[in-house]
Amino acid sequence: MNSAVEDKSTNKTPLRSMFYIPIIAASTRRDRQTIKVARFVLARLQQWPDVQTELLDLLEYNLPIMEERLHRRDDPPPRLQEFGGKIGRADSLIIVMGPASIRRRR
């Protein structure tokens, strides 16, 4: 919610009163542990009065992985636009993933 508060005393650029920072749980594996970390971060971020946040769990979105590019598809997954909208309006992102997701493959 990128709402702004007008600073009448200085006539400067308005300050934001709320930042939208979603947390992405990036693992979709069985027995994943990253969801616990993502929920922990969510609970902490929810304590900040100037932050609006939510957990975006990729497992729940059922996004196509390694499929045709979206702009080439006639049938995008139903929740893809919802996910894209949330990412598009975010002021920042927190992505939680396990070490296997970023480990260098040989």
| Residue 6 lies inside a defined structural domain of this protein | no
Rounded alpha-carbon distances, angstroms, from residue 65 to 28, 31, 54 = 11, 19, 22
Residue 85 belongs to some domain of the structure: yes
Burial class (CB in 10 A: 0-12, 13-18, 19+), 83: middle
Which residue range is the domain that position 35 belongs to?
15-66+75-102
On whether residue 87 sits in a domain, the answer given is yes
Per-block mean pLDDT, blocks of 10 residues, the chain (106 long): 51 72 92 94 96 94 66 74 90 89 56
Q: What is the number of residues in the chain?
A: 106
Looking at residue 21, which CATH number applies to its domain?
A: 3.40.50.360
pTM score? 0.71
Both structure tokens of 5 = 């508060």
Q: Considering its fold, how many domains does the chain have in total?
A: 1
What are all long-range contacts of 26-32, with beta carbons under 8 Å and residues at least 24 apart? Answer: 26/58, 26/95, 26/96, 26/97, 26/101, 27/58, 27/59, 27/96, 27/97, 27/98, 27/101, 28/58, 28/59, 29/98, 32/59, 32/98
Residue 76 confidence (pLDDT): 72
Q: Is residue 1 part of a domain?
A: no
Domain assignment of residue 44, yes or no? yes
